[in-house]
Amino acid sequence: MKEARREGIRYGLRHIAFNPAEPMSDEALASFAARLCDELQADRERMTLVVHQKDGSTHGHLLLPEWQDDHVLSSRFSWQRLEKCARLEEIRLGHPLVPGRHDRAIVKALRQEGKTAEAGRVEAVLQGPAGDTANLAAPAPASPDTPSSLTKAHPASRPLPRAAYTSQSRRMAERQGLDLVEAKKAIASLWARSDNQLHRFRALLKAKGWVMRAGDRQDTRKDAHIIETSDGVLIGSFTRLTKTRMKDFRLLLVEEAARPKRGDIRAAVKPLLERAALATAAMESHAEQSGLLLPPLEALRRDPEAFARAAARVRPSHSSPKKPKIVSLDRIDELPPNFAHYIQQWKQEVRACRTVLNAKPPLAYGPRRSVDEQSAALFAQIADTRRQLWQAGKQLQETRRERDALRKRVFVLSKTKRLSHLDEEIERLSKTLAEILRYLLETVLWHLGLRSTPPEPLCLPVPTEREEANTRLRRENRELLQQIVRRDTCREWLVTLCREADRRRQEEIAAWKERHVAKCDRARRDLDLLKAIWMPPAKLPRATQAEIMKCKLTGNLEKAKYVTRIALRRLDEAEAERLAKEMESEKAAPVVELQGSSPVRVSPAFEP
């Protein structure tokens, strides 16, 4: 997940679950997971495979990181490619071939890869039982999801498998105590009993404790309805569960809305009763302020003069004209079509301008740790590598001391053989030390963003072709090696690198802001123009305002923008001319010299 956030990837892991119908061993599941890694261009060493049993069947869960060190996990036509891997595994293990929605694409891909025999086996499933039944499963009982048998018609006319719900929805429903398979069968039977009438179907659902209501995603799936339990557990979409086309379902909704309502009216009367008290209080307040509220009848009878004064205050009431209906602009469906299209376009452009104005540099997102926290995390991350470096250096020193001691003992007969062996050991350890130092430096620089490519993995023992490079690196970075080995100097070195990385980050943010200035100015001008279109300023001519209103009613936003821009430009030009004339008149005004005072400029408006 840290790598995904660093590389700007939305998802960090990809989860692939596979549940074979026939029993498979753990080794077979592991080999299938490895082939999936090869198909998706993933590193086998970085996969996580969980194999467990549930309800008596063994299945596996494969987790792969989206960032594969130097590339993103392949996701192009992933569903079809995974089905292809499943068909190949079924052929390899001798399992019955399962028909899928992408069998024709799988056959084409297998033939392009040169696997004609496997393509023929999969094509036999497309052509029905008459083609090749050697690898097909025995007839199973009918299911609402998968047809029990395939017809002998053309493959294009054969109905493809279709799932009423995903495996994730099924697992969620099982955790909440609902069997989606039985619920789907019950809903299909209720729809058959309702004679395709929504009010009867709703009554049958209510008797079972379920309810059908409009979906929550009305902005993208208008008129879509879902069925759920009384506890709010989602069962599925009405059109998918009853296999009804959306076009026919909209007609059913229109018929249901046109049907006269009968039954309990308390739902309509309750809000009226709740508003009655507020309306009464408002009426009394208005009457008291306008002098229409009379004293109680008993008081008027006791005091005739008060009755006369109250009658004198009463003013004849005038019938208020009919007020127009007020519709919220958020309810686009209740507006006229052209005006609704105009409002929708205006909102989209305003939203785009505000997105540009509210944008932040990519490096400014996410939690930022302090320099001390970054250095501490890096120090903990390279602790194991530093330990290996220290151990390799210790072995190198011990081997050198042993070689020097052997050189002094000239009387040893096997001196030449022993010395050559120690020289080779010193050479090997030197290479190992230089390789560990290289990996450590590249790892730190890459994590801080000071290096564009990830470090190459440790290669122990060091190959011969890297000997000169490692020797040069060890010679040039002798002082740096001393800093890494010591604990206090290593921390100071990491803090310095973290500060350098933070400085570069601030420079990149500043450069991004400079590049973003022109785009922000353009977005701000566009937003001001859209605001002027929404509520035209009073300084605009009446003809221009009428033209803008006409564009609103006809749904022509581009013309409204053009008209408003031209009118504002003319106003700016007129204002600039007026200011220029005023400045010229001020310069042309005569200057009168007064004795004992500074020159006074006299405006032409005050001349005699």
Any residues with CB less than 8 A from the CB of 123 and at least 6 apart, and which? 103, 107, 131
pTM of structure: 0.33
**The pLDDT of residue 329:** 65
User: How many C-beta neighbours within 10 Å does residue 409 have?
Assistant: 9
The mean per-residue pLDDT over the stretch 580-608 comes to 57
* 389-405 mean pLDDT: 83
Does an H or E element contain 49, and which? strand 48-54
Q: What is the pLDDT of residue 538?
A: 83
Q: Is the pLDDT of residue 63 over 90?
A: yes
pLDDT average, residue stretch 339-366: 81
The rounded distance, in Å, linking the Cα atoms of 282 and 288 is: 10
Structure tokens at 166: 């995903």
Long-range residue pairs from 100-107, CB within 8 A, at least 24 positions apart, any chain: 100/161, 101/160, 101/161, 101/162, 104/155, 105/80, 106/80
491 or 86, which is more confident?
Answer: 86
Q: Which amino acid appears at position 221 of this protein?
A: R
603 band by pLDDT with thresholds 50, 70 and 90? very low
pLDDT tens digits, 1-27: 888 888 888 888 999 988 888 888 888
Element (H, E) at 228: strand 225-229
Residue with tokens 């944008």: 359
72: β partners: 67
pLDDT per position as a tens digit, 139-164: 333 333 333 333 333 444 455 555 55
Grade residue 493 by pLDDT with cuts at 50, 70 and 90: confident
Closest to 381 in 3D by CA, of 319, 471, 443: 443
| pLDDT score at 461 | 66
Q: Which two tokens stand for residue 512?
A: 């991004």
CA–CA gap between residue 64 and residue 41 (Å, rounded): 10
Amino acid letter for position 477: N
Residue in 497, 494, 496, 492 with CA at minimum distance from that of residue 449 = 497
Q: Which DSSP symbol is given to 333?
A: G
In which element (H, E) is residue 61 found?
strand 57-65
Q: Where are the alpha helices (DSSP H) in 454-556?
A: 467-476, 478-485, 487-534, 542-554
117: helix, coil or strand? Answer: helix
What's phi and psi for 329, nearest 5 deg?
Answer: -70, -10
Q: Is the pLDDT of residue 241 over 60?
A: yes
Task: List, for residues 403-420, the tens digit of each pLDDT value.
Answer: 888 776 654 444 455 566
User: What amino acid occupies position 594?
Assistant: L
Amino acid 15: pLDDT: 92
DSSP H or E segment with residue 278:
helix 266-290
- CA distances for 589 relative to 331, 581, 601, angstroms: 60, 12, 7
- Looking at residue 146, its pLDDT comes to 35
What is the gyration radius of the CA atoms in the chain, in angstroms?
Answer: 41
Report residue 132's pLDDT band, with 50, 70 and 90 as the boundaries.
very low
Pair 235, 225: CB distance under 8 Å: no
Give percent of the chain above pLDDT 70.
Answer: 70
Question: Which amino acid would we find at residue 52?
Answer: H
Task: Read off the pLDDT band of 298 (50, 70, 90).
Answer: low
Other CB atoms within 10 Å distance of the CB of residue 235: 24
Would you give the DSSP letter of residue 403?
H
CA distance 515 to 483: 40
Range among 275-289, 322-336, 570-584 with highest mean pLDDT value: 570-584
Query: Residue 468 above 60 pLDDT?
Result: yes
Q: Quick: pLDDT tens for 479-489.
A: 777 777 777 77
Least confident stretch, 113-127, 208-222, 299-313, 340-354 = 299-313
